[in-house]
Structure formats: C-alpha cells, structure tokens
Structure 1
Amino acid sequence: MDLEENEYILINQKFEGNENFDQESLRPYLKQKEMSSRSALFFYDLGKKYNDLNLEKFQAKVNHYEHLRDSLTIQQEKELFELYFESIDQYVNYLEDENALIIKDFYSHDTVYHTQYETYVPIELYRKDSLKILKKVRKIRKKINDKIDKYRIKIDEGNWVMRSLGKKPVFYNEEAIEGSIYQLSRYYHSNGFFHNHIEYELDTTEKAEIEVNYKIDEGDQFMVRIYDVVTSDTTLLDVINQNRDQSHIQENQAYNQSSLDRERSRIAKLLRNNGYYDFNKSLIQFEVDTTERPLHANVKLVIKDPSDQDKHTQYKVTEITFDSDYDQPIQKKTAIGQYDSISFIEGNNHYSPKVLSSKVGVRKGDFFNEDVTSQTRSGLTNMDIFKFVNVEYEKIGEDSLRASIRSTPFDKFQYSIEGGVNINENLTGPFASLSLKNRNFLNSADIFKLQGNISVDVQTALGEAETTTLYEGGISANFSFPRILFLLPNKFNERLSNSITKTDIQVGYNKARTVNYSSTQLQGFFRYQFQNKRRNWWNFSPLDVSIINADLSDKYRESLEDLPDQTILSSYDSAFLTSMNLFYLSTTPMYGMNKSGKLNEHYLKVFLEYGWNGKALFTSTTGDTSGDPSKMSGYSLYHFFKMYVDYRNIHALSKSTKFAWRFYSGFALPLGTSETLHYSKYFYAGGPSNNRAWNFRELGPGSYTPTTDVTEYSEGEFIITTNLEYRFRIWNLPLEGAVFTDISNVWMLRNNETSDSSTSDENSEINNNDRVFQINDFWKEFGVGAGFGVRLDLSVLIFRVDFAKKVFDPAQELGERFVLPNTSITEGWTLGFGIGYPF
C-alpha cells in the first residue's frame, strides 16, 4: 500500500504499568482500534486495487440508475395523478376542503406521498387500475434503489474482498491517541485512582508501521472511609436504612464510580417499590470528599426534596380496573363486577376473572411497587392470550393511585405451518409441521393446541454401505392452563403471580421407522411448569404414560440374540410405561459478567424420573393381583429410576474467543421385579452432540468390542461425558472456528449375562464384563476424540460442521487404545453436521 510521508499504519497498542486492570479491560477506552492482522490489510489492499480501477464505472452505474428512477417517478406518477385530477388547480381546490382529507404519516396505507407535487394524496381517490400502476411503480423503484445501493457500497466501502476478508487500514492519529489517554485516565479516576498519570511512546518500523505503548502510573487507590445518606424525609430514610445491607457502597472498600451508579439505581428502585411513585434517579446526587484523610474518600448520598413540598409522597393503590378487551369500542364493553377487589371490564371475549386475578400482583391497599407492576405485565403477557398489556397509574388523591390494566387479546384462532431441514445426530432431511391454536377454549384463559408433524431423514445403515430413508410422524393435542391446577389452593396461585405457572395436559401418537426397528407410541402426560424471575424452571409431571411397540429388523434381532446379555433384547418388548418426573433448569444467558466485563454463560439441568408398575392403575380398582407382575395384556411393565445432571459453561476469554465446556453424567436402574430398562430409558454415547469421533450411539458400553457384523446401538445404564471446546472468530466473516476434545462412555451397572445364552462361555463372560462399570478400571475406558470445526453464523441459525478423530478407543485391547498414531493425517476422520452449537 502506498503511503504519504509521515503516514503510519497503527498495528498495535499495548500497556505498561497496568497492575490492577488487564489489557482487555482497558482496550474499550482507546479511541483508535489498531489493525487486527496484517492478512486483513493484505486482502484490503488486494481488493482495493481492483476496486479503484472500476470506480468511474460504478459511479456511472449510480448516475444511470438514479436518472432512470427519477424519470420513472416523474413520468409514471404524473400518469397516475392525472387518472383522477384534470389539473393542479382542481387538486388544490380539493385540499382546501379540510373535511376531505385526513393526512397520516408517510408510511400509512391511507395516503400516498406524491413526489412531484410534494404532498399527500389519499389512496381512496385512486381507481383500482391506478393502484395496480402504483404497486408496479413501487416494485420497479425498489429494484432500482437496490442497484443504486449496491454500487454506492462499492464506492464508499469497497468490494466484497475489502469488506469481508480485509479491513480498512487504521492510520496513526495523534489527536486520537491523546483522546485515548484522556479516556483511560478518566477510567482510572472512576475506579478510585485519583492521582493516575499516563504517557505514551511510539515505535515505528521500516514498513511504515507504528506501535503505541501507553505507560501508566496508576498511583494509589482511594478507599471509602464513610458512607452516609442525607435527607430531610425521615420516613424515606427509614426505608433506605432497613435495606442498608444491600448497598453497593461499603465502608473500607475501594472507591468505584460504577458502585455509586449502581447504588443510585438501587435506591431509586427501592423507593419506587415502596410507594414513592414520583421518585426518580435525578433526585439523587453524590458528594465525595477526599481532603479529610489521605487515600480515603467520604461519600455522601444526598436525596433532594420535591420542588413543591417538604417531603416525598408515599402512594397506595386504592382502585384497580382490568379492561381485557381494550381495543374494543366502548359500546361493546360490559362491566362484569369485581373479583378480589379488581373491577373487570370485557368486550367480545369472556375470561375467567379468577384466572386473570391470579396473574395480577398489584393489590388494593398496597404501596405502589414498580417491580410488582412489571411482574404483572409480564405475567399476563406470558399467558399467550394477550398481545399487548399495559399497566398505568393515575393519581386520584393526595396519596392514592388508580391502577388501570389494559390488554389487547390475540386472535382466538391461530395456525402455523413450518418446514425446513433437520440436521441432527447423523440424520438429514426435510420436516414439516402444522399446528392450530384455539385460545380461551374453555373461557379460562386456556389454550388448546392441535399439532401434527412429519419428517423424512436419510441415514447410513449401521454396518452397511447403502443409505436408508427414515420416517417419523405424529399428532398431539394439548391443553395448557395458566395456573397450577388441583395441586395448589387459589391463594397460593395468587402468590405466584410474579412467576410463570402452567398446567399442561397432552395426548399424542407417534410413528417412526429407524434403521434397526420401527415403533409406534401412544403417550399422555400431566405436567406442571413453574418459572421464577431469576430464570429458573421447574417441571413436574406426576403422571406420564406411554404405550410403545417396537418391531426389530431381522438382522438387528439376530445380533441382539447373539449377545450374552439377553436383557438388551427384552428391552425392545412392547411396553406400558408409567412414570413421574421432575427437572430443574437454570440458565444465565447474557448475564454473569466476570471481573473483566466479559460474558459468562451457565446452564444447569437436573432430571429425575421414577418409573412405577402401571398395573397398579388397574388392580387398585379391580382388586385382581394375579398373574405376572411384570406383564399386563401382553405389555411389559417397567419399574425404574433415572437421573442425570447436565452442566455447561461458556467463558469469554476476549471479544472474539471463548472457552466452552460441558459435564454430563447420569444413571438409570431397574427396580423391583424389573430385570431391565426399556430401550428408551438407556443412555447412549457417540454422535455430533456427545463424542464426535464416533457415530451416533456407537461408543461403549465400557471396553466392549462388538462380535457381529452389525453395529448394534450401545446402551448403558451409566454415562459420563466431558466436552472441551475453544471457539474463535475467523477474520471479519460470520464464521467461527473451533478446536475440541470429547471424553465419554457408557457402562452397564450390572452383569446381566443369561446362563442359557448360546454364547455363554468363558470368552463371552469376559466380553460381557467389559460392559460393566468397575471403579478401578473405568478411567481406562473413556473414548477420547479430538478435532476441529467451523460454524456459519446466520444470526437466526448456526450451521455447524465438525471433523473429529479417535484418540483413545476403549474397544481396543488394553495397551493398544491410543489409536491416533495408527492412522495417517487424512484417515479416520468422522464428519458431523448440526444446527446450533453441540452444547
């Protein structure tokens, strides 16, 4: 790149003397951002050479399309205008009639802006044929504007190579560096380093490149010696003092301006949650005195009095109205009386006041509370009944408020059709779903949803080269109620008004064909859902019933019959499953900043399931307890317990790099007379979301080595999985790279070899023991895979491609499990696709 004299490219900025803040914390305060890489400059220069040769051509294109657009505007709109008006005078006379025209904004569907005469024309004046011309003109004009934008971007920002692969060079600017020093000094000052001093040095190279080295003398950090709150309002002061332990400013701690800002916000919120409706942060100011003692600051928070009185007013809510059909004309509305001190008004839609009242946290006689107001708004919105909810207050006395809740309902009926492509767990193919919602079906703010779905997937057959087409389809009916039914009394539901609560009742039928078997499932469940404001979810299903029939392929059945553990085969028997389950989920997306202000994301899920013998549902009423307790009408019954824990953490190392890790472990065991689990309750290892060096469900159990030419699904009663992944941005593209290691396996917890198996000999016994978890040997049986991947970030979707290779293979003999050196660099890779991150 050709540079002028004394012109330098800024390639680096670094810091010295920054003992209390790392470089990532200081960089946001630099007014100039250096070149991220020399390769970006290379691509920018390469693209610019071609782009500069075509600048005149691009400008000519812009001029051509602008002339075409302007000609189209004048000519076509003139024709359009003259379809109705014979002259300008006639149109002006029309405009003079104030009652003839209601002018709205430019984007309104009721008016059209006429560019030639610079005024609005009511769209109802145009004939139908003129509307067709108008739509055509707009369509053509949009295409022309798109062309103009395309070439203007090339003129102003450069071509694709310059914008995507390259980066515009950053030239050293002395004024910007001085501005950086000012901002850095202010940052140190705001953190209590009042006597900081910053200078800079320059280092140039023969390639006209320059580095800036900021030399920082931080000085000593001031401590908070005394923190006082000063106000003439003693009632208000009592409220603050009662919550003093939550203060962000503590004596004998380091002074920090951000702590003062957080304290201002806390006090304002605290007071607005205790009746002070008129209070705001502008009434709070801080006074900081650093003269009384060296390296100490006395902080005083001063609350100003209102301008029109000597104390702040504490308001109570004395009236509450709820208009559930706010957009309806007043003549269509009916006042239906009060429930729980709330006056309800409704339009065409009738909702149960009892249900709506349970979602309203605002109560008559309570002090105004901003948090409760927000919770009421979100609680009503999350019902999926109302598309708009607003809570407003009106002063009706010296210290009284009227709360008006106004909501606009969604349409009663809503249908949706979705389609796309599944890329999940080695399955790829199209899917489609159709759903129909009926809101307020039972006039209790409930939702009835009928949904059907079908998917077609393609998978390579296990142990074979050809591909197999897989099908799955189902239909379900769901009733969702916005409260906890049967389990809790009404008063307790009202206490949960600041949380999301639901009761779901669902039945569904599903049919699927996989590589090794086809299955049908009839399922019904009863489930409670609870979510609090801290993003914690609880799901409890006291009854989950499934009737499952599986039809195994001949080849797969033969492979299972050859196993020493015949309980695997029996796990595919037709089943009547009854269980209750509970899971807890906690997430912190977009929260959890660490000390450097970098994002930390956490995810924790704990799942518990207890399966009980469903025969008790019938014998308790008939009194018949005869027969096999593990069978009922030809169906196998299962008594079991299952649990697992899934924890994930994403730690931002910098603006463009992250370290993600996951730990997943669980166990499942048959109980009572059950000798095995149903196949749907086992754990499996391998696949794009578990261990990417193995195909789906092909890892384990333990160090077991398959003895047949058909690779059966590898079930386990115990699983341990750890995933480690380093993620980084690739240049300025919407691409992210990853380097990862996966460590996992599954094990059986019991040796279930049957004595009458045809393969029950010494070798098979040893082979079967390889499946079983043993505390002294399990650490030698982890499957370890490593690899790299690329993610394409399309904002709404992330497409993922991973290449993984086996490092340790537990199926090999002990001492030969380190298999990485046994394959060349181009062999042994497993290719995996997915949508979204693996964890």
Structure 2
Amino acid sequence: MKKISTKIAAFILIAIFICACNAVKRVPDGKQLLTKNQITVNGKATKSETVFNQLYQKPNSTLLLGFPLRLHLYNLANLNPDSTYQAKFTNNPGKYERKSKWLSAKQVDRLGKSFWYQGIHDFLKRTGEAPVIIDTAKTEKSILRLKYYYFNNGFFDVDADYKVDTLGNKKGKIKYKIATGKPYFLDTIQTSITTPALDSIYETIKSNAVIKTGNQYKTIDFNDEKNRVTNHFRNNGVYYFQPTYVNFDIDTIQKGDKAGVNLIIKDYSFQDKDSTRTEPFKMYKISDVNIYTDYSSNKSNQPITDSVTYKNFNLYSHDKLKYKPHAITDAIFITKGGLFADNKTILTTRYLNNLKIFNYPSVQYEIDTRDTTYSSLIAKIYLTPRKKYSFGTSLDVTHSNIQDIGVALSISETIRNVFNGAETLEVSVRGNIGSSKDLANPNNQFFNVSEYGVDLKLNVPRIFMPFSTEKIIKKRMIPSTLMAIGFARQRNIGLDKQNFTGAFTYNWTPKKNNTARFDLFNAQFVQNLNPQNYFNVYGSSYKALNEIGKIYNTNPSYFNNDTDRDLIIETGTRGFISDVLSGNTPLTSADRDYADVKSIEERRLRLTENDFILATSYTFTKSTKTDLTDNTFYLFKTKIESAGSLLSLISNTTNQAENKNGKFELFGLEYSEYIKTEFDYIKHWDLTREKVFAVRSFFGIAIPFGNSDYIPFSRSYFSGGSNDNRAWQPYSLGPGSSGAKDDFNEANMKIALSAEFRFKLLGDLKGALFADAGNIWNVYDNVTDEKSTFTGFRSLKDIALGTGFGLRYDLNFFVIRFDFGFKTYNPANETDEKWFREYNFGNSVLNFGINYPF
C-alpha cells in the first residue's frame, strides 16, 4: 500500500509539473512569447555576442538542452494570492465563520500571508522569470541600437529592418536584417593644438596614437586616444587639462569611403567673475609638499604644535609628531620642484593606504600665491591615523582535506606604528575543533580533532636590509618586509604534531597585476608527539603487516590472542618488524614479503620522524582579475623553493661529521634538502548570461638530494579532494597506478588539469559540470615501486579522469559548494576495466567545499 501511494503522489506531482509547463500560460491573448532572435548581416547569419547584446529583448533564459526552467517556475506561481485567498471566503461566507471559531479572525487573516498561501508564490515569482513578450516599441529601439553599434564601427550608411515570424500557440521570433554598406577608413590625421607647450608634448607621443591612417573608423579608438592624450598631459604638469578639451573634426565630404581627422585642442577656458576667459595651458610645478599627519575634521581649527622638514617634505602635527619622518616620506611620490602628475598622486594614495596605519588619505592641490606667474602648486596630504590598538575576533566554519567540518576561533590584537616607523605588529591566538570520520576515533566522538596556536607577525613597510635596495626594488613597487614566528599543536590528527615556524619575507609589486614574494628563509620544525600511534592511523600498512605476521611470526607474545592472531600495536608490530629485518624469521631478503615489511618500515620511519626544514623561495604571481565579479581573467603563479643547501654548505665547510646514515644533523635531526618548483595557471571565460567556463592546470615537482632521499610529508603532494580531482577522496588517488594502497598517499610530483562549466539555475543557486584529470608520482627519490614511479611519457597513461556535476549557493561573501564526482578513468584498475567501470552513484564522491575550487 505504501508503494502504491508513493507512486500516486509521484504521478500527481509529475502531472502538476507537466500542466505548469505551458510556456505561454502567462502570455495574454493577441501577444507572442519571444522564443528566438535571428540577426543576419549582409545576408549572413551572425552569432556575435556583442551584436546580440545590442537587443533590448532576449528570450527567456534556459538551462542545458534549452529548457526554460525559470519561466515555468514563474508560471507555477499565483500572481494574486491575496485575491485568491479572499475569494475562498467571498464565495463561501460560512467558511470564514467556521474557521474563525477555532482560529481567531486575526489568525485567519494572517493565514493568508503565510508561506503556503503567499510566501511560496512570492518565492516562485522571485526565483522564476516572467515571459518575454514581443514588444514592437522595444524592437524599434533594438534597431536603433544596432544602427548605432555599426555606425560606431565605421559603417555610416547602415540600413536595418526587422520582421516578426509567428510560430503558432502565442509564440514568435524576431528576424533582424542589417545591411552595413562599406566601412570608412581613416585618411590623413592632422592636429590643431593652440597652446605651444601642449603641441610640443603631443609631438613626443604622436607616434603611439591609437588612431592611425588606414585604420577602420571606430568610435572607441577616438575615446581611447582622448584618454591617452589627457593622461599624458596630466602626468606632465598640465593641471587643469580635462578630456573635454580634446575634440575631433571628422571630414567625409567628397572622400568616398575615407574620413579625414583633425585633432583639436583649444586653450584653457575658465570663469572669471561674470565673464569667460581663455589663456594658454600652463605647466605646473610643485612648490611645497605639506603632510598633515594627524588630520581630523574636529582638529582642523586647532594650531599646529609640532613640525619637521625632511628631504623637502614638510610634516605637521596638531599633537606631538608620532612618526619617524622617513616612514611617511617613503610613501610620497609627489616631490618638490617636480611637475604635477596624476600618476604620482595615485601612487602616493595607494602606498599610504597600504601602510594600514591611516584611513584612506586625501591629496589636494592649491595654487601657490607666492608665485607671481601662478604656475606653482602646493600639495597638501591629509592623513587620519587609525586607532593604535585594535582587537579582532573571527569565528569560522571550515572544511579541509583532513576535517569534514571544523569550527575555528581566532583572537587578534593589532598594534600600529609600533616602533614609530609605520610598522604593524599583530599577535593572534587561534583554536579549532573539528570532526573527521577518516581519522582514528576510538571514543566515537563527533569533535575528535583539535588544534591551537599562536602567531606573531611584524610588517615593515620597506625592504628591511642593512643596505639600500632602491636600485633593484623601487619604492613605487610598494615593498614590505614580513617577520613571523608561530607555534601550533594538533591533537588526534594523525600522529599529533606540534609545529614551530619562522619566516623572513619580502613582498613587492613589480608591475600592475604582478606580485612578487621572496622568502629569505622559511623555517619549520615538525615534532610528532604520538609516533607509537602510527599503525592505528595508517590502517592499510597495519593490515598488510598483520597478514604477513600471521604467516611468519614465531613469537606468540606479539599476538593479541591465539584465535585472532593479530599483531599488538605497538609492541607486536615493532617486534615482528625487528625480527624480520634481523633475520629471526623464516623470511629472507629474497622473499617478496620481506621486501614488503622493509617497505612498510621505511614508510613508518619517514612519516614518524621529526622534520626540520630551512627553505628559501621565490614566488611570482600575475593576475588580470579586477574584482570578485570579474569572470574574464587569468592567473599565473610560479614558485621555486630550495631547502637545506645553506646548511649543507656550512656542514661541508666546517667539516662536520656525518651520522651512521651518512647524513648531516642539526639539533640531532637530519635536516631536509631538496629543490621544488610549481606552475599554476587559471583562466576564466565569461560566456554571458551568468555562464562561465573555467580551466586550471598545475604542475609541481620536488627533488630530494644531498642530505635527503625523500621529501618531507608536509612538502609532498597528494591528489583527490574538493579542490583537486573530485572523483576521489583526499589522499586516495595514486601514486601512479598503485591503487592508493596506503592510507595517506603522497608523492613528490603532481600533474592536475581541471575544466568547469558554471551556469545559473535558480536565483542564487548555481550549477556546474566539471572534468578533473591528474595524478601524483614518485620520481628521483627512494621509492622503487614501478607502479608508483614516473618513468617517462608512458606514465602519462596513469592520469586519472573524474567527471561530475555540482550545486553551489552564493551567499555573496562566500559560496557553499557540493560536487558529485564520478570515476571516469581509473588507472589502478585492470587494463580492460579502466573506463567507466565505477561510473555510478555507488562509487561517486560527494565533496563539500567553501567557494569555487579555482
């Protein structure tokens, strides 16, 4: 009976949806639903996105396969739920009285405002999309915009018309027909610049003009040329110059398809009392740079009590001056005696704002009346200090490759201008509790992992070195130095760790959209607090060792009992490994099981030993992204890192003794030595109507040498997870075709490729289709397993492929993401079972993430 009722309910729902799927349900009689726009230009159909964007009316948006879901949702809504609710009682007055007996009249009235009577319809109207009905007035406006578009591209004799085709059942499409005629090209280009000084300046940049003889006429080129000329003049002292002073006279009379151009710049025009006067433009120089270091509106009338002149800069303060002069003047690019320049003003405000000790600065100019030629400016820079001390807290819900869910609390104290040199000191304490089903959890607690730490960061707004670096890293690159130390401790995460870090980092911006980072040193000491827990955490290693132990172990004290014969952790596992490697079991070095035990022990030692890493690295990033809403950009990032080489140089030059393993030690630890490089490229294409195509490619390799035979776990690569190959869980893919036989599989080389098509579903709910490819391999280290190592191009056949779909909900400040990944090509399977053998929901992986993966 239950199954029958379920089928009936499903049938009813489907029937309701089919009935609602009448696309013309809300189209009035005599009107037509716009289903398609068709544009032909000179007899040929065009698909140009720019051309279609000129139209005032476009068909209702569709999902994949052209289904107008939002239109049908709108059609499901009751457009007048209030009237419908009231009609129930108008047609049946006794019904209102009966309801009012067991509900008050006020409650009955409020019921009409409830979600089921009104809210659901408001949601459907808001989420859905009203039918686009063909409007001839808007079509006529579209014709004008099309003509204007082609006119702006050099077609001065455009003819455009349209026709509405009726498709039946209240549907129609609009056919636009455009005849452009011949395009016009630029002929001779002349200039008429009245002010001699401006004419001389223009001659120096004339060769770089956007408009050139022979180019097709384009209005945008004239606007670009106008802005180019204006920017150059204003960056070379012409203070009063504006784009409105640049005009063009275009002559097409008796020239056929040619257009002669005359660039015209007249003299400066200004209002003098009741009359308008003109005079040649002047070149303005800066006579003084005055900096008010503690400006505020309520102090503007108070006297200046402290001042200092430093390198031609005048610094003023209403109270005692709290800054070393160079800390402020290093951020000022406006110089006494130099020409007025807009770009210097912008650079100054940008640098001052980057100090993070002032509110956004204000730079103003006024005529210096001391100059009788009235061609000098006084630059006044107003700085409003932020509070010296600021306290901050943050509470975040997090998700990572280790924690399924976590709650993080951070408390910080920021001290500005701590040494009177515009430095910023930040002290922060953080704590995190989380839940992970993948880690050992004997007590079955929900919050089974935790971490706490403290960090100390000092930011200095310059390159902190004993010698000047101005010739290498100019101050216009906004350099800074970051000194940081930190401590963190983890509990119930793997072997439990405590982590000590220290860094000395230089940051600067070589060009717009480019950033550079140089870590003079980045030190990390990782101490495992619970190494005896190894076989509890790495269950696959224990399982493999235990199976061998059941066959070859001869010491009954290593087993938990005579029935199960499982090796006891830690005494049994360690004792059995020792017996195997020392020859106290029937196994010999020629046996496969002996090699497996040796490999298990080598991995245990590698993952349980403490690590000390002293690295130097350089990172360069270039991005064309302008803001969070930019969907057409690329990002390129590369990094090279070297660790341990300096320590090895010191050890060799000081003739330090090697340990029994032939390695040098520092503080009783074999320090890591390797070189590592990474390349990351992300590209987004905006396909309009909230459709975006994004790709990402990544390559990374870390090669151990000298004092190391392998890469530390914290510097190695893994594959799988919500930001990687989403058809596999984190650490569960690779290396190579080995089949992820270990619990936390990692290697020292990685290739990753991803592509994603994103589109809008309903309101803030977005959808995505994606494909992720990649894997990890061991190369140039001590791993000998052929399936795990990269041996050349033939190893690329081990690149795994995962495909799937995702749902994302945009909360403006972050995006909640769910992705379903399906194993499309699994290199670990047998040759004839690699493709689509696990392509089902039973083997799929559900990923939860915050924000987009790339």
TM-score bucket of the superposed structures, by smaller chain: 0.7 to 0.9
Query: Is the 1:475–1:509 Cα contact (8 Å) retained in structure 2?
Result: yes
Instruction: Give me the CA root mean square deviation.
Output: 3.0
The reply on whether 1:430 has 2:454 as its aligned counterpart is no
Query: Is the 1:751–1:769 Cα contact (8 Å) retained in structure 2?
Result: no
Give distance in 2, aligned partners of 1:216 and 1:690: 48
Letter in 1 for 2:534: D
Which of 751, 769, 778 is the matching residue for 2:795?
A: 778
Letter in 1 for 2:225: E
Distance 1:45 1:676, change over 3 A: closer
The reply on whether 1:395 has 2:367 as its aligned counterpart is yes
Normalising to structure 2: TM-score of the pair? 0.80
Specify the alignment match of 1:543 in structure 2: 521
- 1:706-765 C-alpha deviation (Å, 9 max, x unpaired): 55xxx421111111000011111114x112111111101111113625xxxxxxxxxxx6
Specify the alignment match of 1:477 in structure 2: 456
The reply on whether 1:787 has 2:787 as its aligned counterpart is no
CA shift, 1:324, in A, is 0.8
Give distance in 1, aligned partners of 2:300 and 2:267: 43
Distance 1:591 1:423, change over 3 A: closer
CA shift, 1:14, in A, is 2.0
- 1:552-606 C-alpha deviation (Å, 9 max, x unpaired): 323146828846376544433112211111101111114899xxxx952111110
Specify the alignment match of 1:506 in structure 2: 484
- 1:75-104 C-alpha deviation (Å, 9 max, x unpaired): xxxxxxxxxxxxxxxxxxxxxxxxxxxxxx
The reply on whether 1:603 has 2:665 as its aligned counterpart is no
Query: Is the 1:601–1:650 Cα contact (8 Å) retained in structure 2?
Result: yes
Q: Larger deviation: 660-669 or 167-176?
A: 167-176
Letter in 1 for 2:747: G
3-state secondary structure, aligned to 1:322: strand
Give distance in 1, aligned partners of 2:144 and 2:81: 38
Give distance in 1, aligned partners of 2:26 and 2:798: 60
Q: Larger deviation: 804-813 or 11-20?
A: 11-20
Letter in 2 for 1:481: V
User: Gaps spanning 5+ residues in structure 2: where?
Assistant: 1-24, 63-67, 91-109, 270-276, 543-576, 578-596
Query: Is the 1:611–1:640 Cα contact (8 Å) retained in structure 2?
Result: yes
Give distance in 2, aligned partners of 1:426 and 1:244: 60
Query: Is the 1:437–1:449 Cα contact (8 Å) retained in structure 2?
Result: yes
Give distance in 2, aligned partners of 1:411 and 1:464: 46
Matches within 5 A, 1:342-357: 342-346=313-317, 347-348=319-320, 350-357=322-329
Query: Is the 1:724–1:742 Cα contact (8 Å) retained in structure 2?
Result: yes
Give distance in 2, aligned partners of 1:750 and 1:637: 18
Specify the alignment match of 1:368 in structure 2: 340
Query: Is the 2:717–2:776 Cα contact (8 Å) retained in structure 1?
Result: yes
Specify the alignment match of 2:19 in structure 1: none
User: Gaps spanning 5+ residues in structure 1: where?
Assistant: 61-146, 754-764
- 1:61-87 C-alpha deviation (Å, 9 max, x unpaired): xxxxxxxxxxxxxxxxxxxxxxxxxxx
Distance 1:530 1:253, change over 3 A: same
Query: Is the 1:721–1:743 Cα contact (8 Å) retained in structure 2?
Result: yes
Letter in 1 for 2:185: M
Specify the alignment match of 2:100 in structure 1: none
The reply on whether 1:222 has 2:184 as its aligned counterpart is yes
Instruction: Tell me which of the two structures has the higher relative contact order, counting C-alpha pairs closer than 8 angstroms and 6 or more residues apart.
Output: 1
Give distance in 1, aligned partners of 2:46 and 2:209: 24
Give distance in 1, aligned partners of 2:206 and 2:85: 65
Letter in 2 for 1:505: M
Distance 1:535 1:53, change over 3 A: same
The reply on whether 1:580 has 2:616 as its aligned counterpart is yes
3-state secondary structure, aligned to 1:438: strand
The reply on whether 1:314 has 2:290 as its aligned counterpart is no
The reply on whether 1:326 has 2:360 as its aligned counterpart is no
Distance 1:735 1:637, change over 3 A: same
Which of 606, 612, 619 is the matching residue for 1:571?
A: 606
- 1:176-235 C-alpha deviation (Å, 9 max, x unpaired): 111110111011101101111111011113311221110111222211122233212232
3-state secondary structure, aligned to 2:476: coil
Query: Is the 2:79–2:121 Cα contact (8 Å) retained in structure 1?
Result: no
Query: Is the 1:723–1:743 Cα contact (8 Å) retained in structure 2?
Result: yes
Specify the alignment match of 1:804 in structure 2: 821
3-state secondary structure, aligned to 1:642: strand
- 1:623-679 C-alpha deviation (Å, 9 max, x unpaired): 572343432232221111011001000111223211111000010011213212211
Specify the alignment match of 2:773 in structure 1: 743
Aligned residues: 722
Query: Is the 2:433–2:447 Cα contact (8 Å) retained in structure 1?
Result: no
Give distance in 2, aligned partners of 1:425 and 1:575: 21
Query: Is the 1:684–1:715 Cα contact (8 Å) retained in structure 2?
Result: yes
Specify the alignment match of 2:310 in structure 1: 339
Give distance in 2, aligned partners of 1:592 and 1:687: 24
Specify the alignment match of 1:293 in structure 2: 255
3-state secondary structure, aligned to 1:388: coil
Distance 1:430 1:557, change over 3 A: closer
Query: Is the 2:38–2:45 Cα contact (8 Å) retained in structure 1?
Result: no
Give distance in 2, aligned partners of 1:751 and 1:608: 19
Query: Is the 1:426–1:832 Cα contact (8 Å) retained in structure 2?
Result: no
Specify the alignment match of 1:415 in structure 2: 391
Which of 821, 828, 831 is the matching residue for 2:843?
A: 828
Give distance in 1, aligned partners of 2:625 and 2:664: 45
Q: Larger deviation: 305-314 or 645-654?
A: 305-314
Q: Larger deviation: 682-691 or 8-17?
A: 8-17
- 1:310-336 C-alpha deviation (Å, 9 max, x unpaired): 421110111110011011455464342
3-state secondary structure, aligned to 2:789: coil
Which of 162, 169, 177 is the matching residue for 2:125?
A: 162
Specify the alignment match of 1:258 in structure 2: 220
3-state secondary structure, aligned to 1:403: strand
Query: Is the 2:739–2:828 Cα contact (8 Å) retained in structure 1?
Result: yes
Give distance in 1, aligned partners of 2:28 and 2:722: 53
Give distance in 2, aligned partners of 1:491 and 1:605: 25
Give distance in 2, aligned partners of 1:289 and 1:21: 31
Specify the alignment match of 1:24 in structure 2: 49
Query: Is the 2:27–2:131 Cα contact (8 Å) retained in structure 1?
Result: no
Give distance in 2, aligned partners of 1:228 and 1:680: 65
Distance 1:200 1:591, change over 3 A: farther
Matches within 5 A, 1:57-136: none
Distance 1:563 1:538, change over 3 A: farther
Distance 1:394 1:424, change over 3 A: same
Specify the alignment match of 2:689 in structure 1: 655
Specify the alignment match of 1:122 in structure 2: none
The reply on whether 1:725 has 2:756 as its aligned counterpart is yes
Same amino acid, percent of matched pairs: 24
Distance 1:249 1:547, change over 3 A: same
3-state secondary structure, aligned to 1:424: coil
Query: Is the 2:822–2:841 Cα contact (8 Å) retained in structure 1?
Result: no
Give distance in 1, aligned partners of 2:75 and 2:666: 77
Query: Is the 1:591–1:600 Cα contact (8 Å) retained in structure 2?
Result: no
Give distance in 2, aligned partners of 1:163 and 1:27: 26
Distance 1:641 1:565, change over 3 A: farther
CA shift, 1:545, in A, is 1.4
CA shift, 1:21, in A, is 6.7
Matches within 5 A, 1:662-681: 662-681=696-715
Distance 1:453 1:468, change over 3 A: closer
Query: Is the 1:386–1:407 Cα contact (8 Å) retained in structure 2?
Result: yes
Letter in 2 for 1:391: V
Letter in 1 for 2:390: Q
Specify the alignment match of 2:592 in structure 1: none
3-state secondary structure, aligned to 2:688: coil
Specify the alignment match of 1:80 in structure 2: none
CA shift, 1:55, in A, is 8.0
Give distance in 2, aligned partners of 1:296 and 1:463: 79
Give distance in 1, aligned partners of 2:227 and 2:124: 46
Specify the alignment match of 2:733 in structure 1: 699
Specify the alignment match of 1:486 in structure 2: 465
Query: Is the 1:372–1:498 Cα contact (8 Å) retained in structure 2?
Result: no
CA shift, 1:413, in A, is 0.3
Distance 1:333 1:783, change over 3 A: same
Letter in 1 for 2:382: R
